[in-house]
Amino acid sequence: MISIDMTGRAPIYEQLCRGICGEIAKGMLREHDRLPAARVLAKDLGINPNTVAKAYSMLERDGIIYSVAGKGCFVAEHKGLADRKFTDEFLLKAREARKAGVPKSTLLSIVEEIYNEDGSETGGNDV
Q: Where are the domains of the chain?
A: 12-79, 82-116
**Contact, 19 vs 36, CB < 8 A?**
no
Q: Which of 118, 125, 120 is nearest to 26 (CA)?
A: 125
Could you say which of 3.30.565.10, 3.30.1360.30, 1.10.10.10, 3.40.50.620 is the CATH number of the domain covering 12-79?
1.10.10.10
pLDDT tens, 20-53? 988 988 889 999 999 999 999 999 999 999 999 9
Q: Which of 94, 91, 93 is nearest to 104 (CA)?
A: 94
Q: What is the mean pLDDT of residues 94-107?
A: 89
Tell me what pLDDT residue 61 has.
92
Q: What angle (nearest 5°) sits at the alpha carbon of residue 95, between those of residues 16 and 125?
A: 45
Least trusted range by pLDDT, from 31-35, 108-112, 113-117, 118-122: 118-122
127 band by pLDDT with thresholds 50, 70 and 90: very low
**Contact, 4 vs 45, CB < 8 A?**
yes
